[in-house]
A and B are shown apart, each in its own frame.
Chain A
Amino acid sequence: MNTSTDTTWQIGGATLHSRLLIGSALYPSPAIMTQAIRASGAQIVTVSLRRQGVHKEAGEGFWNLIRDLDLHLLPNTAGCHTPREAITLAHMAREVFGTHWIKLEVIGDPYTLQPDPYATVEAAKELVKAGFEVFPYTTDDLVVAHRLIDAGCRILMPWGAPIGSGKGLVNPYALATLRKAFPDIPLIVDAGIGTPSHAVQAMEIGYDGILLNSAVALAQDPITMAKAFALSVLAGRKGYEAGTMQERNFASPSTPTIGTPFWHQEVEA
């Protein structure tokens, strides 16, 4: 199944066909993870760092599996709550994964996992100065987006909904506002996507890509769901490129009215 677009796009200096970015966590098994990632057609996969010896899956075994996929790696700073933690983890990730890409996450609230905008901007400034291509996980707040761009970010990744919630686009108006405000910045909806239709919705309003993990990994059949998301991202993008019709508040018949059968003009007596 070919789910790549016939056009390419650029992000972080890479030229890609797929507009789906996928996570590597929460799959029922390493084998299903690799099959689902391949089935998604994604060319960017997110990874992380954790203490060795605590997670027995961490280290060489996982690293070898991911390396064999031969995809662009996007390490994250998940679990960081301060700029200092995120900056240190980004440097460690650059050494382990050999990439200057970093998905910057600085969490400000433990219940919603909402990113801390102040800490994210502060960390972004330092990381851009240190040569990183920062993919900032942010809310859909327009002013925060401006500050991240001012900090040197060339990509924005607003949430659709809280991480792992699967609620879809909670505030499509705010996401559409970001699209209008930053027509030339790659925009990725990161977090909150639960179903393929959520991905279609984001792509139809002109987002450049979708980053998701739980929606595929926690599906009853992750491999089939990965294919579904590949198709939905493609469908949404094509819908955006084609230009949707203007919505109307009234009905308008699509079948010609001229020559309607059985019609006759009322004749007054």
Chain B
Amino acid sequence: MAESSAHNTPPITVHVNGEPRTLPAGTNVREMMEHLDFTQTGSAVAINLTFIPTDRYEETPIHPNDTIDILGAIYGG
């Protein structure tokens, strides 16, 4: 999490899987996953309909009002 944002910047609101959630400003995708307890394996993330590969979680910041989908495996036809 960015050092400069920890004390002075107010938290941001985003939508995660259709629900409004609050995150510390400056959060990246990796930190968001831990913060929201999405820690199980087999997840994939898209922000504003753009896929974010796992190896880009640390370098991808979350912005206010982002629409985030965190998906997991399920049965399908």
- Chain A interface (Cβ < 8 Å from any Cβ of B): 23-27, 33, 46-55, 57-60, 62-63, 66, 75-76, 78, 84-85, 88-89, 91-93, 95-97, 163-164, 213-214
Contact = CB atoms under 8 A, between A and B. Distances in A.
Given A62-B74, A62-B75, A91 B51 contact: yes
Contacts of B44: 49, 91-93, 95-96
Interface in B4-30: 17-18
Q: Majority SS of interface residues in chain B?
A: strand
Q: Majority SS of interface residues in chain A?
A: mixed
Given A53-B38, A164-B77, 20 more contacts: A23-B77, A33-B75, A47-B73, A47-B76, A49-B44, A50-B72, A51-B69, A52-B70, A54-B17, A55-B74, A60-B72, A62-B72, A62-B75, A66-B73, A75-B76, A91-B53, A95-B53, A96-B43, A96-B44, A163-B77
Contacts of A91: 44, 51, 53
Given A54-B17, A96-B43, A163-B77, A59 B72 contact: yes
Given A23-B77, A59-B40, A214-B77, A96 B53 contact: no
Interface residues of B, number: 24
A51 B75 contact: no
A97 to B, nearest CB: 7
B73 A88 contact: no
Interface of B: 17-18, 38, 40-46, 49-51, 53-54, 69-77
B54 to A, nearest CB: 7
Contacts of B54: 95
Nearest to B19: A53
7 contacts: A50-B71, A51-B70, A58-B72, A58-B73, A62-B72, A63-B72, A91-B44
Contacts of A60: 40-42, 72
Given A85-B49, A92-B51, A96-B71, A24 B76 contact: yes
A97 B73 contact: yes
A25 B75 CA distance: 5
